[in-house]
Amino acid sequence: MRITATSVIALRALRRNKLRSILTALGIIIGVGAVIATVSIGNGAKNQVESQIASLGQNVITVFPGSTNTGGTRGGFGAASTLTIEDAEAIEREVLGVVAVSAEVRDRQQILANGLNWNTTVMGESPGYLSVRAWDLAQGNMFTDADMRSTAKVAIIGQTVATELYPDVDPVGQTIRIRNLPFKVLGVLKPKGFSFFGSDQDDVVIVPTTSAMRRVARRQYLSSILIQAQSPTMMSRIQQEVTDLLQQRRGDREADFTVRNQLELAEAATATSKTMTVLLGSIAGVSLIVGGIGIMNIMLVSVTERTREIGIRLAIGAHDRDVRIQFLIEAMILSMLGGIFGVLIGIGASQVVSSQTGMPVLISTASVTGAVAFSAFVGIVFGFYPAHKAAKLDPIDALRFE
Amino acid sequence: MKAVVQLENIHKTYSNGEVEVHAVRGINLTIESGEFVAIMGASGSGKSTLMNVLGCLDRPSKGRYLLDGVDTSDLDRNERADLRNQKLGFVFQGFNLLARTTALENVELPMLYNPKRIPSREKRKRALEALEIVGLAERADHLPNQLSGGQQQRVAIARALVNNPQILLADEPTGNLDSKTSVEVMGVFQKLNERGITIVMVTHELDIARYCKRNLIVRDGLLVRDELVQDRSYSDRELQRIREEEAAAKLTQSA
């Protein structure tokens, strides 16, 4: 093999036609750049969705109230007011593989503290809530089962509430007033950021469920029940058993609840962003193939234009293989250079998009190596026919070519 | 003397669709080492076909061709390419240098395809030596479009010489040159022949053929005449005469 010599020849040939080489590579540069940029943005979005879903908690099953049917008038989803704290206790007691249960009551209240006031979500939760949501306290302690039983006036607060009400005081041990009742702040939660649905998860005050029902929301039913399964594999079984248990507790009454599995939500959300990534990536992939056809086109022109040169090479002793490899290497260098510059441009473009729109980008090494390898592959595939055509020329005809 | 080329009853037939063209119809020819042969003939006489067979660019339809004792009849495409690279040097009518490539790189070209790997320093050295022989060493870095026709043809001759071939094959080497430059190029060939290099060239110009030692005439695919040149031309003398004539022309004009 005379690969080194042939590579030198190929490089010289490309250098002789600088502008044409750059224009030919441009097709690949744009193709690879587009692939890198779209896949990076798509991956960034997917990653963000995934982390938001993970922030909802691990292996969580949620029971929502269903619709009502009062004498033929059907209320909407969540209209039923039949989910009770006893349902939550029954689930914790009777379903195997349940790690934690939190009976949730949501209410919106104006709260006062430290001479300031703030409108926020007050949530009644069980002590198991932090485990369900995989949420930790920045300082202080969580309330206990004893607080639940005694409908204690205690609370833990989110970061947003802490900064709004206690800009320069340590909130732990302070008192906040909800519905004019004093609640003692036991702890402050770590920041969790915005939820998948766009709401500020840190703008929250959490009190024991019983206290919320009696003292804050003043109602007897729950907004939802959060259940944490021991492992992802148990989730579908637990979902079924919770459904059966709740139905059993309701006897012959129509089901007035819905049991949702967090995996379903996660799958739906990641499926959306995955579809977007695949869609954008395949459009970009098509542009790579178009770039490849551009290379083939130019290589064919180049073979015709350089017929005499090929004739000279064959006459003075080049083998078919030498000519074929020369043109293949030319095509490969074009597409590889295109690939490398395309990666740089793609990374640059995704950084610009990220800084302009605030969209997260994730440049994976897999997409970079994949794009460069694919562009080299495009070079070989689309360079092969022109190279073959050049190698099969008859030296006498080629030398006579005008 | 050693026979470099032996043609035994060579035939070449082209089938051009329905018509069969019998371009060469049985040529026997022996060329010995150190000869300087001109092949002449009208167009369509078969001289170009004969040249392509001699150059191993084409295979005879019938007959045997021994080049330097090796039977070339049953060599494949790549073996013939190696033979061309090692034993033959080509000079074409249209020079056929690679455009936008320096004289030196053009001369190095055959060494790139040498089956034995030649280190790049040696390639450069040998290419410069070949350019030295044709008197163009100081133009090594020039591109073909910066050289005159005669200089380009000398670069082509250097390229043909660089792999130390057995024979130099030249196809109408002066066809694109004016008469004075033609004489200069023939001078290069004569100098090379004096060094012992065998040269076979095709030409249709009688006065150019007289610089060679032996003239062959091809007509209708047959060798019709084979004779040694009696009143041979020498480029040194011819150039001297041309210079004197030019000087005389200037004298008469200025007088």
Please give the residue of chain B at the shortest CA–CA distance from A318.
Answer: B113
* DSSP states along A84-133: -HHHHHHHHHHSTTEEEEEEEEEEEEEEEETTEEEEEEEEEE-TTHHHHT
The pLDDT-based confidence of A1 (bands split at 50, 70, 90) is: very low
Measured distance CA(A100)–CA(A58) in Å, rounded: 11
The pLDDT-based confidence of A80 (bands split at 50, 70, 90) is: low
The tens digit of pLDDT for each residue in A163-216 reads 999 988 899 998 999 998 999 999 999 988 877 677 888 999 999 999 999 888
Measured distance CA(B66)–CA(B56) in Å, rounded: 11
- Shortest alpha-carbon distance between residue B210 and chain A (Å): 27
Q: Does B14 touch chain A (CB under 8 A)?
A: no
**What count of residues does chain A have?**
402
Q: In one letter, which amino acid is A190?
A: K
Helix H or strand E segment including A365: helix A365-391
Average pLDDT over every residue of A127-139? 88
Q: Which of B52, B58, B84 sits opposite A317 (nearest CB)?
A: B84
Task: Report A:16-55 residues touching B (Cβ under 8 A).
Answer: 16
Residue B124: burial class (beta carbons within 10 Å; 0-12, 13-18, 19+)? middle
To 10 degrees, what angle do helices B77-87 and A320-357 make?
100
pLDDT for position B135: 92
Residue ranges of alpha helices (H) inside B40-138 are 47-54, 77-87, 103-112, 120-133
pLDDT for position A374: 83
- Shortest alpha-carbon distance between residue B236 and chain A (Å): 31
What ipTM describes this predicted complex?
Answer: 0.91
The pLDDT-based confidence of B255 (bands split at 50, 70, 90) is: very low
Average pLDDT over every residue of B227-247? 90
- Shortest alpha-carbon distance between residue B98 and chain A (Å): 6
Q: In this structure, are strands B167-171 and B88-91 parallel, antiparallel, or unpaired? A: parallel
Residues of chain A in contact with residue B77, where contact means CB-CB under 8 angstroms, are 319-320
Question: Between chains, do A309 and B98 touch, taking CB under 8 Å as contact?
Answer: yes
Average pLDDT over every residue of B27-41? 94
Q: Which domains does chain B have, with CATH numbers?
A: 3-96+167-254 (3.40.50.300)
Given a cut of 80, whether residue A219 has pLDDT beyond it is yes
